[in-house]
Amino acid sequence: MKYIRSNIWHSSASAFALDLGVLVNTKFFSFNGQEKDGMNIGMSISNYGTRMKFDGIDVYQPIDVSEYEEGNYGDVAGQFRPSEWELPLIFRIGIALKPIVSNFTNVTIAADALHPNNNSESINLGCSMDNTIPGFGVFSLRGGVKALYMDSSQYGFTGGLGIKMYYLGNRSLSIDYAYKTIGILGDIHVYTVGISF
């Protein structure tokens, strides 16, 4: 459950929404026979909730009904009536496969298809390779493409790498970097630092 709120000057709109999903682990295409390394199938519905509508003191404005006519009252209280709109409801289905699973290297290939109510359908593709370094942690390489077949998509290739270093048992420090291109925004560099304990 989530609460969504948008403000423009003295007006605001709010809504409540749910994200619902299911993930099924299967033994299909498991190269080592273990269920956790087989094909994963997932489905979700995002932003299922109430409608939004702006309201606040900014919708009340004085109106002169006939500004070119003398003798009328020029400050009649008026109210704008903004229309309601739905949240961008998204239905998503995806699969993930692990074609390479070993003690030190795991490769995951994933694809998902999106059906939003406010845009065209699209497909996301991605691949991740995780290399375990004994006594140190995990080094990861990632790449993907977002919004394939979307009308006038601004998204391009995304690539990145990450390091997860273990310390004091199961605690870890992770550092991730990603590069992506988004149309008029150009090249974007994203850095993430995380600590788990």
27 pLDDT higher than 90: no
- The 10s digit of each residue's pLDDT in 71-92 is 777 778 888 888 999 999 999 9
Distant-in-sequence, close-in-space partners of 118: CB < 8 Å, separation ≥ 6: 86, 88, 89
Cα dihedral 20→91→150→123 (10° resolution) = 80
Calculate mean pLDDT across residues 110-122: 95
Measured distance CA(174)–CA(191) in Å, rounded? 11
- Check whether 23 has a pLDDT greater than 80: yes
Is a pLDDT exceeding 90 seen at residue 124? yes
What's the pLDDT at 36? Answer: 82
DSSP summary character for residue 33: S
pLDDT digits (tens, 9 = 90+) for 93-107: 999 999 999 889 999
DSSP 82: P
How far apart are the C-alpha atoms of 33 and 35, rounded to whole Å? 7
State the DSSP string of 3-49. EEEEEETTEEEEEEEEEEEEEEE--TT-SSS-GGGS-EEEEEEEEEE
Give the model's pLDDT for residue 3: 96
pLDDT at residue 180 tops 90: yes
Domain ranges of the chain: 1-66+75-88, 119-197
Tokens of 41: 């199938």
pLDDT of 76: 82
The pLDDT, as a whole number, for residue 164 is 96
What are residue 159's DSSP bridge partners? 143, 179
Contacts of 74 by beta carbon, 8 Å cutoff, 6+ apart: 62, 64, 67
